[in-house]
Structure 1
Amino acid sequence: MCWLFDLGNSRLKCAPLMADGRAGESIAIDHRNGALAAALDRHLPSEFDVAYLASVADPALRVEVLQALTARCRRISVARTQSRWGDFRIAYADPARLGVDRFLAMLAAQADCSGGAVLVCAIGTALTVDLVDAAGGHRGGRIAPSPTLMREALQARIVQLPASGGSYREFGADTPDALAAGCEGAALGLIERSLAMAGRELGAAPTLYLHGGGAPALLPQLPPARWSPQLVLQGLARWAALDTAR
């Protein structure tokens, strides 16, 4: 048995690698409470063959996860961003500067869209946007704070502003709603502008993919979007297929 692991800044997502080469049902573990080892004990088998890991987290946390996996599996394969993958080519001159989560999400979205142009948006701690044309060329991307990070940053500087709560409406009638309208609205504006500019650049609108823990809050305002919570894990499954073939 093989397992896939997507280690982000807030959560560790893991899923078994299925016989058809896709990620199975995933488990999300919030590692900010310091109980990562205990959570892994609850959710993972005591022994398995291979662990495939994609990590953009703090190096110390990555080491903690690697130590936990070493005690359980025979081999660990750490995914890294590649300049090319088949027809897919990244825009960055230095592949190491493009987060592996963005790389894997683009791989998965491009495969899911059968080679069509895609705009891949992740809403986690950060909000990232990446455009891939129909020929597999990565046109580049954007990075901004997510709505959650915006709220936390505001509350850190202005303590009377709540870091969460409120409901999105175009113009909030109280402070929590106004904060939701402002921070979620900023994210929506960035995604909508990216989609519009991508359509202008490519001559046709790309398929919009959304993933990440903050995406569900934005989905009602983005009806064209494809909600793909396992996008990074599915991309990691593609990585695993190549690793197995070597």
Structure 2
Amino acid sequence: MKIGIIGTGNIGGTLARKMIAAGHEVVVANSKGIEGVRSFANEIGATPADVSGAVQGVQAIVLSIPLPAVAELPHDLFASVPAEVPVIDTGNYYPGLRDDHISAIDQGMPESVWVSRQIGRPVIKAFNNLLAYTLAELGQPEGSPGRLAAAVAGDDERAVEKVMELVSEAGFDPIYSGSLEESWRQQPSTPAYCCDYAASEMRRALDAAVQGEAAKIRDRMLESFAKLGSNPSHADIVAMNRSLSPISR
């Protein structure tokens, strides 16, 4: 499969490496243009492109950029992309921590619904509830005992199935969390968010989410982050997230 990845940060860059390791052809792009991504592309064996080139002639697209940057993408970026090509949104909204406030999301619109409306086509929400270290280091082959899980949300059954295959190839058990409208179940500060759960725990965590509660928990999360210091370990972050999850208490 040929996969276009827009964004080469911790998540997008790791996914590029993993998809190449799984045998896929990968095209990478970021906000710096072809020359800005060429060194990274050469390092991992990908093809460098600008954002327009990353969506041409591919069978899947990964959108892995901060949410506010989604609104700055070319308005016609996906106009010629066939409807059957899934666009995977890996993003998370961090108001007050990294991102400016987005009023529609603050008022309750699921993050990936907002993304879908910005780019003018459906998206599949995936890879967002894994920490960067987890994605890079903790994937295991299918069937491995204790294999960690990742949530996937979306409306198109075939697109969801294709993305679930990619999640599995990345080393994680894919767990369907519901429609895109239900993707709030895997957003930051929900019970399923970045807790390094296996499949059964992930299912329970997704089911335990209460709509509208994440924003309240987020304030406690920010306080907990402040206590962890400037360079918290992966284990500290997982422990903090689990402390906020009702299924870990």
Report TM bin, short chain: 0.3 to 0.5
More contact order relative to length (CA 8 Å, sep ≥ 6): 1
Q: Relative to total residues, which structure has the larger strand share, 1 or 2?
A: 1
TM-score by length of 2: 0.33
TM-score scaled by length of structure 1: 0.34
